[in-house]
A = this chain, B = another copy of it.
């Protein structure tokens, strides 16, 4: 990995996180497009993300989120190619709580990339942002996604019935929670 962008968070020798910027819009759109059927299984926004302009709009929103001190969205770059995304959602400064969401291209699955990326954003949430709790929400049947909070020591706190609409059916959503004092880093 000879090129390393100046502003990034290194995950491992081959992988880094880069805050979403407009200049990434084309790569985001292409990756979504290549993984469309795969991502559509569990992510509700895939059908509304069809063009580079859609990706740019999402990125602009996520930069507004960062500008308003409500966390950020980052691309996951593996060997200098975009491979997925991870970010903060619903950051609440009063309750000192945030949710982490993520997705990864099919071809990168099974290498532990997302677990490392989550670990980084959890540490950032507790150490730099000073939060008290991180949550991860997954569809109950999305086993791959559920495996991550389990592996990282989260507690299952509830299953919200029919909490999310996925194009043509509802899915139940499991909430995993991790408190700052429980985090081993």
Contact = CB atoms under 8 A, between A and B. Distances in A.
Interface of A: 5-9, 19, 21-23, 44, 60, 63-64, 66-69, 94-97, 120, 123-124, 128-129, 132-133, 135, 155, 157-165, 170, 175, 177, 179
Given A22-B69, A132-B170, A159 B158 contact: yes
B165 A94 contact: yes
29 contacts: A5-B128, A6-B128, A7-B7, A7-B8, A7-B9, A7-B19, A7-B124, A21-B69, A63-B66, A63-B67, A64-B67, A66-B66, A66-B67, A97-B163, A132-B162, A132-B170, A133-B163, A135-B160, A155-B161, A157-B160, A157-B161, A158-B158, A158-B159, A158-B175, A160-B175, A160-B177, A161-B177, A161-B179, A163-B177
A6 B95 contact: no
A17 B153 CA distance: 33
A120 B6 contact: yes
A66 B161 CA distance: 26
Nearest to A164: B95
A144 to B, nearest CB: 22
Given A6-B120, A96-B165, 12 more contacts: A6-B9, A7-B19, A7-B124, A21-B69, A23-B129, A63-B67, A94-B165, A97-B162, A157-B161, A158-B159, A158-B175, A163-B177
